[in-house]
Structure 1
Amino acid sequence: MTITPDRYAAVKARHRAAILAAATAVLTEGGVPALSADVLAARADVARRTIFNHFASLEDVVLACLEDELNSAISSVADAVDRSPTGGAQRGPLDDLETSLRGTDLPRVVSRIARMLEGPGSSEHELRLQQQAMAHLAGPMTEQVRHRHPDLSALDAALVTGSVLSGLTVVARVWLEETGGSLDPAGRRRWEDLLDHLFRTLRHGFSPAPLSPEGL
């Protein structure tokens, strides 16, 4: 029986989706150490070789899963920017970015990604994730800023977006260290406090800590 190109593409897409869905489930349940080719093949109901027809390595599978999570965040951020009000000269790009981040459930995304990366040897994945996050979020967010602020230069749009995202990476790391990614009310309040600190610092600069009596 001859398989037409369209049918072949559909089968290939279905296999890839099944692999990613299975990998996401395994990573959410047990982190990176729980993922193996045998486990993934069984959960996705595909042959081992099918996995490596789609991905060069299991690490690439992990990164593809994280990319899906980030793409979800990208869509939420873009939607939040579109929903935010325009305020003429009184409302700048930093205000739009703050509104968008506060209108997006980023704590849930950050917490899910952290669970997916849990386990020994996850530091390299975390570093690559930060690079992926910058690459994937910066472009769409910069375009949204330029769309809403057409008088802003491309350089300034990229600078303000990059500054926010770099700070957000630090906020996410500190939040995870302090709360363990908890989504309870206390964890969410801490996230909001850290966002407050981030945008206050971006607007007004760093406030040096007062010297202790010993340091005077």
Structure 2
Amino acid sequence: MAESMGARGPGRPRSERSRRAVLTAARELLTDRGLPALSMDHIAARAGVSKNTIYRWWPTKAAVLMDAFTDAFADRVTAPDDGDALTRLRIQVRRVAQLMNTPEARRPFIALVAAAQHDPELAAALRERFIDSRRADVSRLIAAGITDGQLRADLDTDVVIDLIYGALYYRLLVSGAQIDPAYADRLVQALAPVLRT
């Protein structure tokens, strides 16, 4: 049965200390070496575990790298539980912008996205282990706003999410323009007339 940190294979239960060592090693090596030069052997050596240990928990290098990224950063981009829908959305977008402005998150994320263009396994891991859960988080936020009458009932949730995150990722991956909380505020403010009832 799959777990959030990879599939647990048969045999001994995973050691939390070893798991954390593998995730830390993968993050450090991704930042230091870049993804093309990174291998399971490198991760195992840095973590002080055997390669077989890593393969018991993760099926591919892509799965290790995505879990390493999400383990470190996913909790920092969740939407808050309290407040009106637009305020919660603004805070969530600010959190993403702030994270993407942080070198220890920005560099590995760009490397993962770039490599995913030529690596189907990594692309699938990126969607399944990071992007899908972020979209689901915002979808729930928008659905709650619609239910509460704060957002328009006819909103196309997928398009709204694409507009917001497409703008962020365009700056991150294409234009190189600044991503910061002030930009996040301007982005949500520009969409507010379309979103409100």
Supply the AA of the counterpart residue of 1:168.
I
Contact 1:146 1:152 in 2 (8 A): no
The alpha-carbon deviation at position 159 of structure 1 amounts to 4.6
Could you say which structure has the greater relative contact order, defined with CA pairs below 8 angstroms and 6 or more residues apart? 2
User: Given the alignment, which residue of 154, 168, 172 partners 1:172?
Assistant: 168
Q: Matched residues, percent identical?
A: 20
2:186 pairs with one of 196, 210, 216: 196
TM-score by length of 2: 0.66
Q: Which structure would you say has the larger Rg?
A: 1
Q: Which runs of 5+ in 2 are unaligned?
A: 1-11
Q: Distance in 1 between matches of 2:15 and 2:155?
A: 37
Aligned to 2:117: 123
Equivalent residue for 1:187?
A: 178
Q: CA deviation at 1:44?
A: 0.3
Q: Distance in 2 between matches of 1:98 and 1:55?
A: 35
Q: Which residue of 2 aligns with 1:106?
A: 99
Whole-angstrom CA distance in 2 between matches of 1:167 and 1:28 = 29
Distance between the aligned counterparts of 1:197 and 1:65, measured in 2? Answer: 29
CA distance in 1, matches of 2:179, 2:134: 22
Residue 98 of structure 1 aligns with an amino acid whose one-letter code is: R
CA-CA distance at 1:163 after TM superposition: 3.9
Q: Deviations over 1:150-185 (max 9, x none)?
A: 5359x959954x444322331233212222xxxxxx
Q: Give the secondary-structure state (helix, strand or coil) at the position aligned to 1:175.
A: helix
- Is 1:25–2:28 an aligned residue pair? yes
Change (3 A) 1:147 1:204: closer
Judging by fraction of residues, say which structure has more helix: 1
Preserved contact between residue 30 and residue 38 of structure 2 (Cα < 8 Å): yes
Q: Normalising by the residue count of structure 1, what TM-score does the alignment of the two structures yield?
A: 0.62
**In 1: Cα distance, 2:130 partner to 2:153 partner:** 20
Is 1:56 the equivalent of 2:56?
Answer: no
How do 1:20-169 residues align onto structure 2 when only pairs under 5 Å count?
Answer: 20-74=23-77, 77-79=78-80, 82=82, 85-86=83-84, 93-102=85-94, 105-108=98-101, 111-117=106-112, 121-124=115-118, 127-128=123-124, 129-130=126-127, 132-144=129-141, 151=148, 159-160=156-157, 162-169=158-165
Deviation at 1:101, TM superposition (A): 1.8
